[in-house]
Structure 1
Amino acid sequence: MSSLPKWINDAVENLLPSKFKDCTVTRTTYISDDLKQITFETDLSDVYFEPAYAVGFRINDRDFRNYSPFHFDKEKGSFDILFHVHDTQAAGCHFINQLTAGDSIKMIIPRGKRFFDHEAKIHFSIGDETSLGSSIAIREAAEKTSKSFVCLHELEDPLSLEKLDLYGYYTSKNNWMAILNQINEFLHEERKAIENQEVTFYLTGNGKTMSFLRRYLKEKGVHSTNVRSQAYWIEGKKGL
């Protein structure tokens, strides 16, 4: 999200109160050294949510950042977000590191394009550390309709996947050969389902990696309507 002058951000909060919710931090847990899971509580009774929707937080006077919730429970009024706090000098990471139980914060209500394919029989989420929350939300939606879920994450600490119950493929960072080998293994195993357009791929995380994998899947015969993508960050670009 772009940086804006403080007075504009203040005006947005005051003029569009229906777009914001007052939230309370109720629990914080470090899944790993650079993954912080936070539970928030607020009134969600009038809030619409789809898997991979984003909420926004104002991290300072000028900047907002988007994050993907999961465990979104309208009845209990709670949701979780998994934050990748990879750079303590970055404004977003500094803000998240300071949040503790009992803190109050304004949230921009969930919004975004419809990402989850309710018709798919197999849901395959591919991404990196920033994609973990979206993968959990997609897995939960798939399980509610008794559909299959598969994931592939590019990250250094595979133990994080076990802690999050995200069992699936994983590779180390920037290991392109391993990423493609894992995808090819899945494409071979589910060839018939892919031909019948029963598999939907969700590409999130690094925008450059996402673009490459989107082209690769199409070259391998995956129909364009079965590939959905959302960039969460691009190297050198601030506040995507």
Structure 2
Amino acid sequence: METSTFNKLKQKAGNLLEPRLLQTGRVLDVRPWAPSTMIEIDLHLPFTNMEHWEQVPYIKFRVDPLTYRDYTPSGWDAETSTCTIFVDALHNGPGAKWARSLKVNDTVSYFKKICYTQHQPDQTSAIIALGDESSVGHLLALQKMVLPHTRFSGGIVMGNEDHRKQFHEFLWTPIEPVERRDVYGHHSLMQWVLKQKYSLENTIFYLTGNSTMVGQLRKLLKQQGYPSSQIKAQGFWS
């Protein structure tokens, strides 16, 4: 009885608050990768200003009543107000269920206010992006902001071999897929970094993905002599 009453109150609050906070958009295309634990979604968001994004943005989508998840547009077209997001659907959470349910022409709801991370390309000769499956959109958005493009490279740890192949096949990016050999991925990425023999000077690392990987990878980079000022971290979930 108490749970039922709580759910009714929650639904009532949502009905009152959400219309004031949310805008709507439309699904243009849905492209699940095989296996479909990675989903690429094209969206038309006509009420969103996509010009002059100087930091990596993220959009808070409504994935269930009073339930929201943040996704980063991997690329955007300011003229047509269209963008693409990637959803890591390996976990059976609200965001993954929402992404798996989407079809062409479905309506999506999202917060009117676009939020930003602290990831903005520095004026340095080498920008190295490191992440996991949950940060595909973030890494590609960062790449879009780096000019000239030759300054940008990186690695993304992915557990599924087919996804690593499709990452190369589907996306134009210098980011290299890295096989996941540990649970969170930080050891796999660190081994990859050491093989690249990056300079200690003029190199800035941008770390994104699950919080455990990001935190541990930051420690490993500092052990290699990289100062905190050259490591910019953005953890997504624990």
TM-score range, shorter chain: 0.7 to 0.9
Aligned residues: 220
Aligned equivalent of 1:170: 178
CA distance in 2 between counterparts of 1:9 and 1:123 reads 42
For residues 10-44 of structure 1, give each alpha carbon's deviation from its aligned partner in whole angstroms, at most 9, with x where no partner exists: 4433334xxx3321101111233211101001225
Are residues 41 and 176 of structure 1, via their aligned partners in 2, closer, same or farther at CA, if it must alter by over 3 Å?
Answer: closer
SS in 1 for 2:173: coil
Residues 35-184 of structure 1 correspond to what in structure 2 (within 5 A)?
A: 35-43=38-46, 46-47=49-50, 49-87=53-91, 89-108=92-111, 109-142=113-146, 144-155=147-158, 156-157=160-161, 158-162=164-168, 163-167=170-174, 168=176, 170-174=178-182, 177-184=187-194
CA distance in 1 between counterparts of 2:234 and 2:195 reads 24
1:13 paired residue among 13, 18, 29? 18
Aligned CA RMSD, in angstroms, stands at 2.3
For residues 81-118 of structure 1, give each alpha carbon's deviation from its aligned partner in whole angstroms, at most 9, with x where no partner exists: 0111113x422211111101101111224212331224
How many Å apart are 1:184 and its aligned residue?
1.2
Identity of aligned residues (%): 18
CA distance in 2 between counterparts of 1:160 and 1:7 reads 43
TM-score of the aligned structures, taking structure 2 as reference length: 0.82
CA distance in 2 between counterparts of 1:75 and 1:213 reads 38
5+ residue gaps, structure 1: 235-240
1:22 paired residue among 11, 24, 45? 24
How many Å apart are 1:50 and its aligned residue?
4.2
CA distance in 1 between counterparts of 2:16 and 2:235 reads 28
Contact 1:44 1:74 in 2 (8 A): no
Contact 1:44 1:78 in 2 (8 A): no
CA distance in 2 between counterparts of 1:177 and 1:92 reads 27
Contact 2:130 2:205 in 1 (8 A): yes
CA distance in 1 between counterparts of 2:167 and 2:106 reads 28
CA distance in 2 between counterparts of 1:84 and 1:176 reads 18
Contact 2:207 2:232 in 1 (8 A): yes
For residues 148-204 of structure 1, give each alpha carbon's deviation from its aligned partner in whole angstroms, at most 9, with x where no partner exists: 221211112311321223342512241655432211122x2x32xx32xx2221111
TM superposition outliers: structure 1 runs of 4+ over 4 Å = none
How many Å apart are 1:145 and its aligned residue?
3.3
